[in-house]
Amino acid sequence: MHPQLETIFDEAENRYLKPEELSLLGEYVDSLPERLEAYRNLRDRELKIMQSVADQLQLELPQEKVEMLERSIKNALLMLRYCAMGMLLNDEAFVQERLLGWLSLTVQVYDTRSIDAVLYRLLNQRLKQALNPRHLALLGSMLLLAQNTLQQPASADTRR
């Protein structure tokens, strides 16, 4: 769950929540039906969306090895699933900690960044068509975070 929300639940013994804390909670609760709907939509269309991205990707990058393309697609599926969960929880840290630290290493080792760049463009286009703007906005911040992190060139070792 969003770290800010998580911390306010620790306050039970100290005090009642302040109006701004309650409104933060309210905002999240109000957004939940939309988040759930976006999640279901994405879940039900995952294969269709990704298949069309995969077909397009092969057309745009016919020179790339199928093995490399498949790796990128698998990583994108993983990214999409984690982003969907992150959106449901409204928690970027979930995506960051569970997925990105690990996946950025894989991306570096196999050097799939140039394929990924094309794939992300296709995926974002396809999501724009498949999801309504409200749902896309909810998912967007997670996707942006994930894609930006994974597109970063091999940086100085950040794992230490």
Partner 1 sequence: MISVADLLTNNRIPSNYFATDAYVRGDLELGLLENRQGDRLLAVPETLIQGIYAGLDKETGQASCLVLFNCGRWWGKNFYVRFCEQLTDYYSVSPADMPMVEFLQALQQCWITHGWGKIELDQSYQHRGFLVIKVWNSPFAKLAPQGKQPVCFLEAGILSAFFSQLTGRELHCIQTTCESLGSDCNRFVIGLTKRLEPAETLVTNLDHEAIMQQISS
| Residue ranges binding partner 1 (CB under 8 A) | 47, 50-51, 54-55, 58, 66, 69-70, 73-74, 77-78, 81, 97-99, 102-103, 105-106, 109-110, 159-160
Q: Which is nearer to partner 1, 12 or 66 (CB)?
A: 66
In the complex, least distance from residue 36 CB atom to partner 1, rounded to whole angstroms: 20
Instruction: Choose between 51 and 132: whose C-beta lies nearer to partner 1.
Output: 51
Q: How far is the CB of 53 from partner 1 (least distance, A)?
A: 8
111: left (phi over 0), alpha (psi -120 to 50) or beta: left
Both structure tokens of 40? 């279901």
Dist. CA 97–CA 92, nearest whole Å: 9
Q: Which of 113, 56, 50, 118 is nearest to 84 (CA)?
A: 50
Q: 7 vs 58, which CB is nearer to partner 1?
A: 58
Rounded to the nearest whole angstrom, what is the least distance from the CB of residue 33 to partner 1 in the complex?
26
> Which residue's CB is nearer to partner 1, number 77 or number 144?
77
Structure tokens at 155: 């940086």
The least CB distance from residue 138 to partner 1, in Å, is: 22
How far apart, in whole angstroms, are the C-alpha atoms of residue 96 and residue 58?
29
Smallest separation, CB 141 to partner 1 (Å): 21
Residue whose C-alpha is closest to residue 99's, from 153, 138, 142:
142
Q: Which residue, 9 or 102, is less far from partner 1 as judged by CB?
A: 102
CA dihedral 33, 36, 41, 46 (to 10 degrees): 160
